[in-house]
Amino acid sequence: MNLTGNKLGNSVNLLSDVLQNPHCKLEILWLIDCGVTDESCASLASALRSNSSHLRGLDLIGNKIGDLGVDRLCTGLKDPHCKLEKLRLSDCGVTDEGCAALASALRSNPSHLRELSLSRNKLGDSGVKLLSAGLEDPHCKLEKLWLSDCGVKDKGCAALASALRSNPSHLRHLDLSWNKIGDLGVNRLCAGLKDPHCKLEILWLRDCGVTDEGCVALASALRSNSSLLRHLNLTGNKLGKSGVKLLKENPHYKLETVYC
């Protein structure tokens, strides 16, 4: 069901009541830019906790639910009955406090969440560190993480690298586009890419302030025997010919696509 762009507000509570009905088989619900509030998030969490819940995908992009809304939503994510696999919270006014709640949910047993989008929230390095702590937990099964335009810098990259080195690490897709992580951030991230436990296959670093120096670090990671990286996006960075050559002209890399 796609209700994008409708000003539902707290009437989402009525919809949540329906989701708890044993006859309801709804699996995907889009509520993009619907004026959803933190109060509505509490109602949605109640639906996720329902024994009859079939919901697998929930999209709340563009709703200013803030950290309180995320915290209330996470009470549902932690419940054993919750089967949610995809959650999109881009541009929702989330900060590091919301990341702490999400990290706790990712550590829950069992955690079914496989895809999480937090793009265009002001998380900063502190928020990413908290989130990475959840990624390192054995119960976390997250495979795709979007963090574009989140104020991430090099310290946040170091935390993510630690998560990529965790055993087991399930992360396959990481988007850090439009974060000014620079070459230092890329270098720290590559420490995780080189680890045998790292399963990352897709890495987006669009417009991240990367130069040829960062390409050297990436090339080193790609040469490692354990590298599984297949798709790399570096468009919008100030790369010279030498940096592009490092990434595109080595036949030993496993890369299938590289955008510079």
Does one domain contain both 69 and 145? Answer: no
Does one domain contain both 116 and 71? Answer: no
- The model's confidence at residue 199, banded by pLDDT at 50, 70 and 90, is very high
Number of CB atoms found within 10 A of residue 47's CB: 26
Residue 249 located in a structural domain: yes
Token output for 172 = 């396959």
Does one domain contain both 127 and 10? Answer: no
- pTM, two decimals, is 0.96
Tell me if residue 86 falls in helix, strand or coil. strand
Give helix 182-193 / helix 154-164 axis angle, nearest 10°: 10
Residue 249 in this model has a pLDDT that exceeds 80:
no
Please give the pLDDT value at position 212. 95
Does one domain contain both 244 and 124? Answer: yes
Token output for 27 = 């699996």
Residue 97 located in a structural domain: no
Mean pLDDT of 227-255: 89
Residue 224 in this model has a pLDDT that exceeds 80:
yes
Does one domain contain both 214 and 145? Answer: yes
Does one domain contain both 170 and 227? Answer: yes
* Residues pairing with 145 in the sheet: 116, 174
Range in 70-79, 164-173, 178-187, 249-258 with the lowest mean pLDDT: 249-258
Please give the pLDDT value at position 51. 84
Residue 252 in this model has a pLDDT that exceeds 80:
no
How many domains is the chain partitioned into structurally? Answer: 2
Does one domain contain both 160 and 221? Answer: yes
Domain of 117, in residue numbers: 102-260
Domain end position, chosen among 59, 75, 91: 75
Token output for 102 = 């999400």
Closest-CA residue to 7 (of 37, 30, 35, 44)? 35
Does one domain contain both 121 and 207? Answer: yes
Residue 82 located in a structural domain: no
Does one domain contain both 156 and 249? Answer: yes
Does one domain contain both 257 and 131? Answer: yes
Please give the pLDDT value at position 248. 83
216: CATH? 3.80.10.10
Residue 149 located in a structural domain: yes
Does one domain contain both 159 and 56? Answer: no
For 14-27, what is each residue's pLDDT tens digit? 999 999 999 999 99
Does one domain contain both 245 and 169? Answer: yes
Range in 22-31, 46-55, 66-75, 118-127 with the lowest mean pLDDT: 46-55
Q: Are 205 and 237 in contact (CB under 8 A)?
A: yes
Please give the pLDDT value at position 226. 75
In percent, how much of the chain has pLDDT > 90? 87
Residue 258 located in a structural domain: yes
Residue 8 located in a structural domain: yes
Residue 235 located in a structural domain: yes
Please give the pLDDT value at position 110. 85
